[in-house]
Amino acid sequence: MGINGMVLPEEEHPVKAFGWAARDPSGILSPFNFSRRETGEEDVKVKVLYCGICHSDLHNIKNERGTAKYPMVPGHEMTGEVIEVGSKVRNFKVGDKAAVGVIIGSCGSPSSCQYCAKDLENYCSKRMLTYNSAYYDGSWNYGGYSDIIVVNEHFVYQIPSNLPLDATAPLLCAGITTYSPLRYFELDKPGLSIAVVGLGGLGHMAVKFAKAFGEKVTVISRSLSKKKEAIEHLGADSFLISSDADQMQAATGTFDGIIDTVSALHPIMPLISLLKQDGKLVLLGSKTIDSPVVIGERKVVGTSVIGSVKETQEMLDFCAKHDIVSDIELIQMDYVNTAMERLEKADVKYRFVIDVGNSLKTAQA
């Protein structure tokens, strides 16, 4: 028992676990002993081999959203190997490759939840996040910067055999966050003209998906330095500098859809002006709008949040068919604090992935 009779994290459940956790809003991560629940009838226990670092991990460990509970083990982009399954599990067996993403639960009630009834668990008001959230019994959920995780089978994904585990990990967040709106808003048709705003973890995936759909893709960025990367490496067809008034004017009314991945405050009216009639602007950043929106034409502004379980599996299968993975920088666990500092400066192309299986230290915290 801990101070004031509080149950210690390593005593909360019967299965010992180990990871790296933040203890306070400094966000500094360090070794952490805790525990996982036993594998239930419908659960899958996964040995975490790789875990991507999402920008939301940085926000959360620093309590920038005001919802942090410490200690916090971040990470919601996991790939690994199944090491135990419950008696009622049907889609996984020991030894299978498996992935875990942003959500690990929802109300699951089709009779009372319009979202769960439509297989849209990501919009369920009772969706359970992979970390920094409470499990059904009130115990706290810890994420993928750790050796193992136990998850209900419904929220575990099958990884096609041709996808590498390390570069697949970011697909569980950056991938599905861009794939889902392209599909839902019907911006997935060959020949469409699509713009992607921002060329980071989300943006580079949006470019890859749009190209795989057979579309003409333009990257919009403030930085000319990203033009060569966008066109020569990612295959974008053109590049537009958002701060160049002449270029923006020339592009007025030319796009069927725009995927805006920028999370920093910025005006969106200049982007709306780039849309054709009936064009669609999809906002994926968490802090996007910084100006009044006045639309005098028939255009759509929409939002999207990750994707459903069904969409996520569909996305992984699509990636396997089209040889799509994230561009990553593979790091050791003890580099994670430096990686967070670099991520804050956007100094990564395009996603850090922790080599958990080969570098997680098992020394006592």
Beta-bridge partner residues of 45: 84, 150
In the chain, which residues have pLDDT < 50? 1-3, 363-365
Structure tokens at 39: 């594998």
pLDDT of residue 14: 86
pTM higher than 0.75: yes
Please provide the distance, in angstroms rounded to a whole number, between the alpha carbons at the two ends of the chain.
17
- Please report where in the chains the tokens 């933040």 appear, as a residue: 22
At 13, phi and psi to the nearest 5? -130, 165
pLDDT of residue 7: 73
Burial of residue 222, with CB atoms counted within 10 A of its CB: 0-12 exposed, 13-18 middle, 19 or more buried: middle
Identify whether the C-beta of residue 332 lies closer than 8 Å to the C-beta of residue 355. yes
Identify whether the C-beta of residue 354 lies closer than 8 Å to the C-beta of residue 51. yes
Identify whether the C-beta of residue 180 lies closer than 8 Å to the C-beta of residue 304. yes
Contacts of 313 (CB under 8 A, 6+ apart): 157, 158
Identify whether the C-beta of residue 235 lies closer than 8 Å to the C-beta of residue 207. yes
Structure tokens at 92: 């996984």
pLDDT of residue 137: 87
Contacts of 185 (CB under 8 A, 6+ apart): 257, 280, 282, 300, 302, 304
pLDDT of residue 118: 94
Contacts of 137 (CB under 8 A, 6+ apart): none
CA dist., res. 75 & res. 160, Å (int): 22
Identify whether the C-beta of residue 307 lies closer than 8 Å to the C-beta of residue 118. no
pLDDT of residue 261: 94
Beta-bridge partner residues of 80: 48, 98
pLDDT of residue 94: 98
pLDDT of residue 44: 98
